[in-house]
Structure 1
Amino acid sequence: MTGKILVSACLMGHAVRYDGRFKPLIHPAIDRWCEEGRLVTICPEMSAGMVVPRPPAEIADGATGEDVLAGTACVMEITGGDVTAEFRQAAENALALVRETGCRYALLVDGSPSCGSGFIYDGTFSGERHTGHGVTAAVLKQAGIEVYSDREIDRLVERIAAAG
């Protein structure tokens, strides 16, 4: 076995998204990895004590998770609440879980201010998105974890097969 995979809980069918919904990822590899005991599930926000449902949040001013980690950007709720500390704690919790369980890969839901790894929203709550990482994805990448979005599951399957 080439390593465990951290996976966003919403992709596994858990109703943990900000709006109380889930975004299940249906793919034969998910079933296989689950049977092999390779999947480690987390909702970073819930691990940091955030509730479901909760107000939508975005990284402000078109910034990225790396900017949040550098202290130059914040994560704001649509209501105006600053949830930067919660998102930083969420990322640290995910990193601790990765280290504890030996995950080498992460499969995260795209678009999220935590888990986005291909795109995130621009902070205007207008539906506009841009290339960038959420806070958790940024922390994991900085720690050397290979991060894939739900849209990249076939790339992850190929990567794991190549790793043998």
Structure 2
Amino acid sequence: MEKIFVSSCLLGARVRYDGNAKTLDDQILATWRAEGRLVSMCPEMAAGLPSPRLPAEIESGASAQDVLEGRAHVIDKEGGIVTAPFVAGADLAVEVAREQNIRFALLTDGSPSCGSTFVHGGHFDGQKHEGEGVVAARLRAAGVQVFTQERLGDLARAIEMAENAG
């Protein structure tokens, strides 16, 4: 049975920067929870950031890979550099995935940690652009398939295929 790494906020934990959850109420997720497949984590909080906390974005013009390679930063809304806990959270996520042989992740899109199709543009003006957060990038580099909450059905099909393959 495949285990799934899941952003805690999608499971109702109030761990987001604004102190809220982003609960995903779906029967597929409820079934996986009942089967004991879900491994839940908020990488940012696991690395020591509080909730609530200042919003943070990857600096303008930079990618998650730039952050992971030390060429760019994650910056909070007041200009503070918060790169270290974001990278530490990504490393913790990969450690958990490896320890539990996790090949699939369901992450909250848009986040500088968990975004996997888009992130905010680095100006705190609501603008978004294609890209990924540091956790999504680190998990993908470790061989974990990453899905957004909008692609839950695709994740279910990928897991079914993996389990049917043996």
Alignment TM-score, normalising by the size of structure 2: 0.96
Distance in 1 (CA, whole Å) between partners of 2:114 and 2:133 is 5
Separation in structure 2 between the aligned mates of residue 62 and residue 162 of structure 1, nearest angstrom: 37
Matches within 5 A, 1:1-164: 1=1, 3-163=2-162, 164=164
Name the aligned partner's letter for residue 15 of structure 2.
V
Conserved in 2, the CA contact under 8 Å of 1:18 and 1:52? yes
Mapped partners of 1:36, 1:121: distance in 2: 34
CA distance in 2, matches of 1:159, 1:72: 34
Question: What stretches of structure 1 of length at least 5 have no aligned partner?
Answer: none
Judge conservation of contact 1:60–1:75 (CA < 8 Å) in 2.
yes
- The separation in 2 between residues aligned to 1:62 and 1:160, in whole angstroms, is 34
- TM-score, normalised relative to structure 1: 0.97
How much does 1:24 deviate?
0.5
- Taking only aligned residues, the RMSD between alpha carbons, in angstroms, comes to 0.8
SS in structure 1 at match of 2:30:
helix
The answer on whether the counterparts of 1:62 and 1:121 sit within 8 Å (CA) in structure 2 is: no
Distance in 2 between residues matched to 1:31 and 1:104, nearest whole Å: 19
In the alignment, structure 2 segments of 5+ residues that lack a partner are none
In 1, Cα distance between equivalents of 2:113 and 2:39: 17
Query: In structure 2, what residue type is equivalent to 1:133?
Result: E
Measure, in 2, the Cα distance between the counterparts of 1:8 and 1:62.
Answer: 25
Q: Deviations over 1:6-52 (max 9, x none)?
A: 00000000000000000001111101111111100000000000001
Give the 4+ runs in structure 1 shifted more than 4 A.
Answer: none
1:62: how far off?
3.0
Q: Percent identity?
A: 49
Return 60-69 or 72-81, whichever deviates more: 60-69
Tell me the number of residue pairs that the alignment of Structure 1 and Structure 2 aligns: 163
Q: CA deviation at 1:100?
A: 1.3
For residue 57 of structure 2, what is the amino acid of its counterpart?
Answer: E
CA contact (8 A) 1:75 1:84 kept: yes
